[in-house]
A = this chain, B = another copy of it.
């Protein structure tokens, strides 16, 4: 591989997108030449090939070009975008890593090949423990950790608590529901199709669920599914559903705000206003937004729990693997449609 130059396809930011779903006006694919020759790789850097890319809703917040909402750092115009990824080492200039090692990079270029500082790597994956590589981006990755922080750290529900999870068949929802069941809660989910309702009940242990597209009146639906009120609402959607929930909360209910997928593609003045926050006073509700950046010190606790649950079959994973880096934009947009189930991963190389 001495003076090897590779053609590497990569996705870059062509323009910010404040409203609607991102299109090929905003994210574009290009091909660059990259030298993987030994003298092209600085000390403490790695040349890697990308195996799997994590596709998550929060990425939408990185291409708005505005400083509100998720308040996360914006991708730079004309630069390659970055995501969580599983990568394999081609050449290493760090003695901790060797050719063939499979690593997690939370800040990996969405590219077929890249040269990255080894300090970015957060984990070397043991491929002998029976856990699939895509699970490191799903139940053991961003969505699983988000589910764990929301349920274990913020909601901390008692056995028997009534737990409601929106976007229940999404990557976060599937994990959150299963973690709440492990806690002994009664868990109800909302999701976007009858098939997905069936799935969360039959495969992921939800006690019940409903298709929000079929409910013209969320209030009535929640009355039906929560005759004893809601103790925990794990909010992945915001907007109208959050408002409806606030009419059904029990005293001291907790609402971890993980994300608001119904609201990401709108400028804030066009978002749905929540009119009944006064209920939070009388019911003494705690609502708390969270981002994983504040919880990395708990990642070890999470990973230990979750690996055990996966190995014991107490948590089942569901990963939708889309083949080919060229489909990254389509995969991202699938998160905002009702079609998505579980964790969306783009497989760049097997």
Assess the B284–A287 pair: CB atoms within 8 A: no
Interface string of A312-323 (1 = CB under 8 A from B): 000000000000
A13 to B263, CA, bound (A): 44
Assess the A272–B275 pair: CB atoms within 8 A: yes
Assess the A278–B247 pair: CB atoms within 8 A: no
Q: Which residues of B contact A275 (CB under 8 A)?
A: 268-274
Which of the listed residues A61, A251, A259, A275 has the most CB atoms from chain B within 10 Å of its own CB? A275
Given contacts A68-B276, A273-B274, A287-B286, A281 and B259 within 8 Å (CB-CB): yes
Smallest beta-carbon distance A234→chain B, Å: 13
Q: Which residues of B contact A259 (CB under 8 A)?
A: 281
Quick one: which of B260, B273, B285 contacts A273, CB cutoff 8 A? Answer: B273
Assess the B294–A288 pair: CB atoms within 8 A: no
Within 8 A of B (CB), among A217-263: 238, 242-243, 247, 251-252, 257-260, 263
Smallest beta-carbon distance A61→chain B, Å: 7
A284 to B72, CA, bound (A): 12
Smallest beta-carbon distance A309→chain B, Å: 26
Assess the B273–A284 pair: CB atoms within 8 A: no
A291 CB within 8 Å of chain B: yes
A277 CB within 8 Å of chain B: yes
Given contacts A273-B272, A273-B274, A284 and B290 within 8 Å (CB-CB): yes
A68 to B269, CA, bound (A): 27
Quick one: which of B71, B238, B243 contacts A282, CB cutoff 8 A? Answer: B71
A283 CB within 8 Å of chain B: yes
Smallest beta-carbon distance A173→chain B, Å: 16
Interface string of A328-349 (1 = CB under 8 A from B): 0000000000000000000000
Assess the A260–B281 pair: CB atoms within 8 A: yes
A327 CB within 8 Å of chain B: no
A256: nearest chain-B partner, CB-CB:
B281
A194 to B284, CA, bound (A): 33
Smallest beta-carbon distance A38→chain B, Å: 42
A279 CB within 8 Å of chain B: yes
Smallest beta-carbon distance A69→chain B, Å: 5
Assess the B288–A242 pair: CB atoms within 8 A: no
Smallest beta-carbon distance A170→chain B, Å: 15
Smallest beta-carbon distance A177→chain B, Å: 20
A247 to B285, CA, bound (A): 21
Which 10 A-B residue pairs are closest in the complex by CB-CB distance? A273-B273, A71-B282, A280-B289, A281-B289, A70-B282, A286-B288, A271-B275, A273-B275, A69-B278, A268-B276
Known contacts A257-B280, A260-B278, A281-B291, then 4 further A-B pairs from the complex at CB < 8 Å, ordered by chain A residue: A68-B276, A71-B282, A282-B289, A284-B291
A-B contact pairs, 5 of them (CB 8 A): A69-B279, A268-B275, A269-B275, A280-B289, A286-B289
